[in-house]
């Protein structure tokens, strides 16, 4: 063999060794970064999921209370209408008015924290319907708005329930699978080195 052929063969072998070394170095670097930041990413993902879950549960309760106070205001107006024959000419009880304001605000604040666009839209629609019940011009208008608010709240509750189930399923899957990827990333570079 000529000297040039031998140099080429040595050069190719050196390139393979250098490539294997770079690959090993890259995998080691990747594993180092993963183990530094991977578990904190998992913890952050769990915290985000827990925050969304708690916010969704609180929004369910707040929307139910909002619909209940709206129903109480509507009942007070209907009772006064039967007695006086005039629609919404009486003053609301202060506690009822304050509670309605508090529940409207809480529903708005909780909805703004939710990631799901459909939940935010349904919560805004619910608030819109409940505020229109309070300022409606007739008993029939108030009744139709109250019915629309109840339908919207039912759709909101169903959507929130679906999202909570999805979050719980994702959380359960994350807890089962998070150990396996960590283990395989440690073993893989060692296995590659043993083959080389």
Q: For the segment 134-179, what is each residue's pLDDT rounded down to a tens digit? A: 888 899 999 999 999 999 999 999 999 999 999 888 777 665 444 4
CB 152 within 8 A of CB 125: yes
- What is residue 126's predicted lDDT score, i.e. its pLDDT? 96
Rounded distance between C-alpha atoms, residue 10 and residue 4, angstroms? 10
CA distance 14 to 195: 17
Range of the domain at 18: 3-195
Q: Which runs of consecutive H residues, i.e. helices, occur in the chain? A: 3-84, 94-113, 117-134, 139-177, 179-195
Which CATH number characterizes residue 33's domain? 1.20.120
Instruction: Over range 37-64, report the average pLDDT.
Output: 85
**What is the rounded CA–CA span in Å between residue 186 and residue 18?**
22
pLDDT attached to residue 109:
95
Contact 113, 55 (CB under 8 A): yes
pLDDT at 22: 60
Query: What value does the mean pLDDT take over residues 100-105?
Result: 94
Neighbours of 102 (CB within 10 A): 14
How many independent structural domains does the chain possess? 1
């Amino acid at each position: 063999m000529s000297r040039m052929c031998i140099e080429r063969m040595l050069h190719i072998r050196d390139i393979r060794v250098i490539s294997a070394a770079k690959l090993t170095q890259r995998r080691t670097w990747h594993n180092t970064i993963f183990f530094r930041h991977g578990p904190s990413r998992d913890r952050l993902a769990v915290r985000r999921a827990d925050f969304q879950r708690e916010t969704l549960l609180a929004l369910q309760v707040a929307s139910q209370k909002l619909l209940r106070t709206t129903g109480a205001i509507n009942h007070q107006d209907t009772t006064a209408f039967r007695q006086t024959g005039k629609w919404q000419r009486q003053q609301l009880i202060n506690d009822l008015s304050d509670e309605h304001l508090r529940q409207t605000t809480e529903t708005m604040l909780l909805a703004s924290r939710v990631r799901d666009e459909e939940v935010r839209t349904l919560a805004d629609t619910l608030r819109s319907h409940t505020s229109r019940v309070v300022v409606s011009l007739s008993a029939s208008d108030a009744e139709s708005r109250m019915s629309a608010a109840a339908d919207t709240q039912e759709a909101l509750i169903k959507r929130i329930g679906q999202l909570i189930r999805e979050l719980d399923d994702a959380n359960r899957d994350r807890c089962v699978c998070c150990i396996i990827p960590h283990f395989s990333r440690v073993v893989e570079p060692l296995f590659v080195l043993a083959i080389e």
